[in-house]
Chain A
Amino acid sequence: NAGVTQTPKFQVLKTGQSMTLQCAQDMNHEYMSWYRQDPGMGLRLIHYSVGAGITDQGEVPNGYNVSRSTTEDFPLRLLSAAPSQTSVYFCASRPAGGAGGPRDTQYFGPGTRLTVL
């Protein structure tokens, strides 16, 4: 299994440009999520999905859109890039959980480093 893959690894945008960060997993996980990590900080949840066709907002959703048309893919779209969106973006996946426990373990991708000028 490749696990969670993300493309691109690096991206530079100009203010106002739009782009899509790609995320794919081959573990047949129901849950997928996007986090951003600013320098010296922990990860913050942007959007998440509990299955194909179902998405919801996390802590910092403004300026981002997501969709989940398949179990495998969960792209993150930046609508109009701003310098405040300069960050490292991580995609994660995990199996659907019940009351908690080992199935809550998330598997993270390698990240996309985005710079907005």
Chain B
Amino acid sequence: LAKTTQPISMDSYEGQEVNITCSHNNIATNDYITWYQQFPSQGPRFIIQGYKTKVTNEVASLFIPADRKSSTLSLPRVSLSDTAVYYCLVGDKLNTGFQKLVFGTGTRLLVSP
């Protein structure tokens, strides 16, 4: 069962770049790495997903080294509204084909003015 390890919390200021690193030493060959964002009293929301190297979308970048044992979520120029919990997940496919997402405790990001 692939598990992930992330820092419990991070602090930043508006306008700064934030990098959150996740460790997933037991990632399987077919597993993708997915990051979710969760605001208080809301369900998690998909941010970005990748398999290797670098992926970029309109909100974030994801850096994955060649050995895929870790990944880094990069949030450029954060704002107060980026204050949330960020989860790094590695899919764990069950025999039924269902991709069970294993949530850790996530990283609580606090952005201050």
**A binding-site residues for B, Cβ under 8 Å:** 4, 31, 33, 35, 40-45, 48, 50, 54, 56, 58, 90, 92, 94, 96-97, 99-102, 104-111, 113
Q: Are B32 and A110 in contact (CB under 8 A)?
A: no
Q: Contact partner of B49 among A41, A43, A99, A105, CB < 8 A?
A: A105
**For the complex, would chain B's binding face be called helix, strand, loop or mixed by DSSP majority?**
loop
Q: Contact partner of B87 among A31, A42, A99, CB < 8 A?
A: A42
How many positions in chain B have a CB within 8 Å of any CB in the partner chain? 26
Q: Are A43 and B30 in contact (CB under 8 A)?
A: no
Bound together, the chains give a CA A114 to CA B64 distance in angstroms of: 38
Bound together, the chains give a CA A97 to CA B34 distance in angstroms of: 14
> In this complex, what residue of A is CB-closest to B32?
A100
Q: Are A101 and B43 in contact (CB under 8 A)?
A: no
Q: Contact partner of A101 among B49, B96, B101, CB < 8 A?
A: B49
Q: Which residues of B contact A113 (CB under 8 A)?
A: 41
Q: Are B97 and A96 in contact (CB under 8 A)?
A: yes
> In this complex, what residue of B is CB-closest to A90?
B43
Q: Are B103 and A104 in contact (CB under 8 A)?
A: no
Q: Which residues of A contact B101 (CB under 8 A)?
A: 43, 45, 104, 106
**B binding-site residues for A, Cβ under 8 Å:** 30-32, 34, 41-46, 49, 51, 87, 91, 93-94, 96-101, 103-106
In the A-B complex, the 6 residue pairs with the closest CB atoms:
A108-B43, A42-B103, A43-B103, A100-B32, A105-B46, A104-B99
Q: Are A97 and B43 in contact (CB under 8 A)?
A: no
Bound together, the chains give a CA A92 to CA B103 distance in angstroms of: 14
> In this complex, what residue of A is CB-closest to B1?
A59
Q: Which residues of B contact A106 (CB under 8 A)?
A: 44, 46, 101
Bound together, the chains give a CA A107 to CA B46 distance in angstroms of: 8
Given the known inter-chain contacts A50-B96, A100-B91, please indicate yes or no for A105 contacting B34, CB distance below 8 A: yes
Q: Give the most central of B43, B49, B100: most A CB within 10 Å.
A: B43
